[in-house]
Amino acid sequence: MAETIHENMTQLCRTIAHVNIKWSFLERVSAFRHFFQFLWDRILACSIGKPVRYRRISHRNPSSPPPEAIEAELESAEEVSVFGGYGSDPDLVTLKISLLGDCQIGKTSFVIKYVGDEQEKKCLQMKGLNLMDKTLLVQGARISFSIWDVGGDSRSLDHLPIACKDSVAILFMFDLTSRCTLNSVVEWYNQARKWNRTAIPILIGTKFDDFVQLPPNLQWTIVTQARAYAKAMKATLFFSSAKHNINVNKIFKFIMAKLFNLPWKVERNLTVGEPIIDFY
Ligand SMILES: Nc1nc2c(ncn2[C@@H]2O[C@H](COP(=O)(O)OP(=O)(O)OP(=O)(O)O)[C@@H](O)[C@H]2O)c(=O)[nH]1
Ligand SMILES: [Mg+2]
């Protein structure tokens, strides 16, 4: 009897020792995994920008605010300063957005209007690429738009892959007073889709303030072509003016609402002579 108990105890000790060895092996594997994950994140941060991390913003439930309250909150979304570099703030959600389109159509002016002159001073400028950030507080979540503004000249095309990769939205822009810049959107779209097939596509006509001075029949032709392009791209279409701050903030609100499935939608406006908004 004593011998059987002794044998059982020895068996148990062996099993425990075996489990301990297995456990410490798994711990080491896990530590290695974390270490490599950390290294990989650093490499990504250095090569293609900050890795995009998502955090769920609360969806609408019976106790959540109504759409008008969400609209008001997006409207008054507070701009906040971010201290420390990437990784120091686990609660910051970074959303990468890229802007593409021909030269001199108003891409940089559009971003500057959105981020403000103060942020513009902190802009990271490279040849053919500007990086600007804007951080907002929405429903208690800190959201940082990392905006990649690619120059429209052919030499800046080299930046297109890095600007498009991991973007959550791509803004395809054209000058409403220059038909050829609208025609170019097709090529910008084809190029961008090679590097990113999932980003929300948005088609933006710029310089609406100049556009409304054009003869109505010419305006009508451009509206028709832009709407057809937007439909083909499955994009939402906005006419905007950085000079008069028309639809600039609304476009970013739209991106945010779409990404986080917030119950706020833009209203269609198809009246020629007014800033058009259309979606498929
Ligand atoms: N009327 C009018 N002019 C604008 C508007 N936005 C930009 N512009 C003018 O358009 C010109 C080009 O603007 P940018 O913002 O530099 O254009 P871009 O697309 O960044 O040009 P690249 O960096 O060369 O690709 C400038 O002279 C701006 O003042 C606008 O909303 N209305
Ligand atoms: Mg520019």
Given a contact cutoff of 8 angstroms between Cβ atoms, the answer to whether 237 and 279 are in contact is yes
Taking CA atoms only, the protein residue closest to ligand 1 atom 24 is 103
Q: How many angstroms does the Cα of residue 118 sit away from the middle of ligand 1?
A: 19
| Res 140: pLDDT | 81
Split at pLDDT 50, 70, 90, the class of 44 is very low
Of 31-40, 73-82, 218-227, highest mean pLDDT: 218-227
Residues of the chain above pLDDT 90, percent: 57
The full DSSP string for 173-187 is: EEETT-HHHHHTHHH
Pocket-testing residue among 99, 109, 120, ligand 1, by greatest number of atoms within 8 A of Cβ = 109
Average pLDDT, the chain: 81
Model confidence, pTM: 0.76
**54/15: higher pLDDT:** 15
How does pLDDT run across 89-137, given as a tens digit for each residue? 677 899 999 999 999 999 999 999 999 977 777 778 888 999 999 999 8
Asked if residue 120 has its Cβ within 6 Å of ligand 1, the reply is: no
Asked if residue 151 has its Cβ within 6 Å of ligand 1, the reply is: yes
- Looking from the CA of residue 173, the nearest atom of ligand 1 is 19
Between the two ends of the chain, the Cα-to-Cα distance in Å is 82
How does pLDDT run across 3-38, given as a tens digit for each residue? 555 565 556 446 545 545 555 555 555 555 555 554
From the CA of 157, the nearest ligand is 1
CA distance 145 to 254: 13
| Mean pLDDT, residues 40-68 | 47
